[in-house]
Amino acid sequence: MLSRLFRYFVYFRRAHATYFAFLLGLLNFVVIQYRLLIEYVPLLKSLFPSMLYFTLTFIALYVPIALALGWFDYRRGVARKELHIATTSNPITREYHLVLNAELIESIARLLELHGEHEQARKLREAYNQFRRLFK
């Protein structure tokens, strides 16, 4: 019963943080900007006579800029480093996956050597050792 409640809490927290809080925050931003900025500046009020025009213009500009920035972050930004830190600090990865991978790599390397592929086995072990150094 308690584990089910914890699971529901995790589901709730994920949906709230990922979807609802994001959408509510975006809507809140649009409403506040319209109320505090657009309604009190006559030039902007003439450009955006209703909140609908402002919202459509905002979305038309915001979405492509956010997509470009998100793409840049994943391709050239800090997203790779964040993933590396999350992976290397995860105790399951450190304690179980690395040990299992070491056994699998060694078994594959032995099979390669049995088939006369000594260079391929050496490259496999070398690649795995480079990978292991990331976790130290």
Query: Domain residues of the chain, as ranges?
Result: 2-77, 84-133
Q: Which burial class, exposed, middle or buried, applies to 86 when counting CB atoms under 10 A from its CB (0-12, 13-18, 19+)?
A: exposed
Q: What pLDDT is attached to residue 130? A: 86
Helix ranges restricted to H, 1-136: 2-15, 21-33, 42-47, 51-76, 79-89, 91-92, 98-114, 118-133
Residue pair 106/98 in contact (Cβ under 8 Å)? The answer is no
pTM above 0.75, yes or no: no
At residue 136, the pLDDT reads 66
Average pLDDT for consecutive 10-residue bins of the chain (136 residues)? 90 91 94 93 93 95 95 85 80 77 88 91 89 75
